[in-house]
Amino acid sequence: MLLASGSALADQGDAIEEHLDNTGDRIEDRLDRKGDRIDRSLDRKGDRIDERLDRKGERINDRLDKAADRADANGKDRAANRLDRKGDRIENRLDRNGDRIDRRLDRKGDRVDRRLDRKGDRINNRLDRKGKRVNRRQ
């Protein structure tokens, strides 16, 4: 077996270290892209849920408004007021549900981001340890 000269060994170590750095950068980029895709997906999901809740609230309010108009036309003020209050309660409930869903999606996105950050840190630490072992061998 031939022994490599000191400069050749150093060159090999530098090449390995550069390869490890490039690998770490590629992995970080991949994790960032994955995190961005997940964030966009969660945003789209939240938007769709908000739209559905808004449409549902509008339909309910339209029905209640029609019923209140009929009650007004028939001189039943108490019934109309009761329907208006009921519409307000339903609208408030839908708003709260939408806010709660948004918070849940935000928390989920934060958990995914933290998980990806930890994974990236572990990979970088592993690559750093490999680089140190390569440097010790030189």
- Write down the residue that tokens 């928390």 correspond to: 107
Check residue 4 and give its pLDDT.
Answer: 52
Check residue 1 and give its pLDDT.
Answer: 38
Check residue 137 and give its pLDDT.
Answer: 65
- Write down the residue that tokens 């036309």 correspond to: 73
Task: Give me the tens of pLDDT residue by residue for the chain, a chain 138 residues long.
Answer: 344 555 766 677 778 778 877 888 888 888 888 888 888 888 888 888 888 888 887 888 788 788 778 777 777 778 778 877 888 888 888 888 888 888 888 888 888 888 888 888 888 888 888 777 766 766
| Sequence spans of domains, the chain | 6-137
Check residue 135 and give its pLDDT.
Answer: 67
- Nearby residues of 14 by Cβ (< 8 Å), 6 or more positions away: none
Decide: 134 and 13 in contact? Cβ < 8 Å: yes
